[in-house]
With several copies, the nearest count.
Chain A
């Protein structure tokens, strides 16, 4: 599929579906090392996003649609993940400008700006056991794939695989940011819920891009 506004809408809808399906699993991850609301928070946010999507003008660009996601998440999610994911989408959308179709470089620019936005707000580094552990490897894998001349869909798949591995890599870690940082050694053995949800979002982007 061409990564145009049509793809953007499909990506947003699939993300909303995935978040709904994963609500309980994300709550459970957050219950183990946080406060048990992450799935609930994201579902609240993406339900609002789904509702707003229907009211977007037909000629909305990918950047405009993703900016709507950003502002909606910021106004509806709350918690730590609301401003962080919201900023990710806001900065990512900004990197797309008015483009009506995303090429491989645009995909990299989106992911990279999104990651930088999270770092700007949350000050976390790779290895702090946060959503950065999904976003950062995704950016690197995407850059590498794009540099190798991959299609936009392949770039997203590379990013998605790396994000999934990154989410898994949080399991053995001690957290140094967010609520899980209070657990010390006790966070070891549990996956970070924000890294997991970020990986699911990037995976939704890749899955949608591969559709006919």
Chain B
């Protein structure tokens, strides 16, 4: 295992400490329990948004804390949901009296731990609503799985919900925006190589030199199938085909197209993939009216990418465009 780390046990706390040192204008970090919150005073009367989950997906979630997006993020150990305690502490730190929205990716651990945190917060008199993100079409949503996973679409949900909270929506309204965004969002990913969890020291899975995993999850969970390596245009066709099918996108739709890197793939490759995806959408008569390309929801140093499509209506487009100022996403003036 080759990594720029010290002791594997200190990866999360040292990285969070570094994050705080790098962005003192944006963020304040707590190291015990571990959570990250906006540096600015909490907005009295503003709905606060808290997200979190296992580490190893950076910049998700802490990179999205700041005006226009999250109020706090709770990074767990690498690939492991945080416990309820830091979630509760973050909740108390950012609650401004208007309630707190939890944005939770659909993994058993995240769902259960945030559920407990919500119980504890309610016991302290804080109103909590929870929206579970499950955009990964690689998993068939059925009785026989834990349901679809939450992956890159989480960024879109955090952005639109963050903008809704910033403009003064109520907790119920912000939750509704988050749910609506999730319902309009689908993602599918591919892996070329596996990431290495620091405390495990070995790759999470093994692929042959000429093999790729279509439908990979962001913890290296397997997907739909292993196929031989093929030109990226064919890979994009597979991922985007599944995404559009599931979303039921049709000619005339306006969408956000988001090509997300898994951590170890160079940006130049993501733009090559974006090109193909944009071409396919153009042929289908679907308008790419917003776009995002880069490493936003990663899986350590995994090589691979995911493609996310969100169907936009006027309101979602406006919420996407609203100003945001975080370590990892900034736009609007």
Contact = CB atoms under 8 A, between A and B. Distances in A.
Contacts of A44: 77
A35 B199 contact: no
Contact of A181 (B145, B197, B199, B204): B145
Contacts of A31: 200, 202, 204-205
Interface string A103-147: 000000000000000000110000000000000000000000000
B108 A178 contact: yes
Interface stretch (B81-89, B174-182, B287-295): B81-89
Interface stretch (A14-22, A57-65, A71-79, A196-204): A71-79
B311 interface: no
Interface in A12-70: 27, 31, 34-37, 40-41, 44
B197 A179 contact: no
Nearest to B138: A182
A1 interface: no
Interface stretch (B24-32, B215-223, B319-327): B215-223
A177 B108 contact: yes
Interface residues of A, number: 31
Given A35-B197, A78-B113, A179 B83 contact: no
A152 interface: no
Contacts of B79: 35-37
A84 B111 CA distance: 12
Contact of B83 (A82, A84, A174): A82
A177 B197 CA distance: 23
Nearest to A83: B112
B219 A183 contact: no
B139 interface: yes
Contacts of B105: none
A83 B219 contact: no
A186 B222 CA distance: 9
A36 B8 CA distance: 14
A181 B148 CA distance: 10
Contacts of B146: 177-179, 181-182
Contact of B109 (A40, A74, A82, A181): A82
A80 interface: yes
Contacts of B83: 74-78, 82
